[in-house]
Amino acid sequence: MTDEALAAPVAEQTIDTPAGPRRGRVHAGLRKPSNWIQLIRFATVGASGYVVNLAVYALLVHEADMHFRLASVCAFAVAVANNFVWNRIWTFRDSDGHVGFQAARFYVVSLVAFGFSFLLLNLLVDGLGMEKVPAQAIAVAAATPLNFIGNKLWSFRA
């Protein structure tokens, strides 16, 4: 290998490979402190939504004697409204974007993540016989990365 190749920036060395440019952007993104702050804020908002989701779900399943699938849908609807407001004004601070477009994108991303969590919930409850509230807790937590990536890259993109 020549001295010139060793001296070249990493992005230039990987540009010839299909994954090269992406790897360079991801690496650069990981090095930006603002992205880590956004992730922490998103996790904080997600934690509040997680608590709201589980509280509504437990109340509906145990107190209202609602079927766990319907309770999951209702809990999602309440938590997603909470999360949109907080993510818009605090996590992504994107007041310049059109709220209607952001909301539509946010709900599409949230519905995809909910679909994943709903399938997992059914697998845990019906397939593995797990208790309903712990199964909901696991399913919602497992869908969180989908939510963050979708909202960061699409719903609230700069």
Q: Does the CA dihedral 7-35-148-157 come out positive or negative?
A: negative
Q: What is the pLDDT of residue 107?
A: 92
Tens of pLDDT, residue by residue over 40-71, are 898 899 899 999 999 999 999 999 999 999 99
Tens of pLDDT, residue by residue over 113-134, are 999 999 999 999 999 999 999 9
- Comparing CA positions, the residue from 130, 118, 133 lying closest to residue 66 is 133
Section 133-154 average pLDDT: 89
CA distance 158 to 138: 31
Instruction: Find which of 33-37, 98-102, 122-126 is predicted with most confidence, using mean pLDDT.
Output: 122-126
Q: How many residues does the chain have?
A: 158
- Comparing CA positions, the residue from 129, 116, 128 lying closest to residue 72 is 116
Q: Which long-range contacts (CB under 8 A, 24 or more apart) does 122-127 make?
A: 122/69, 125/68
Q: What is the pLDDT of residue 29?
A: 63
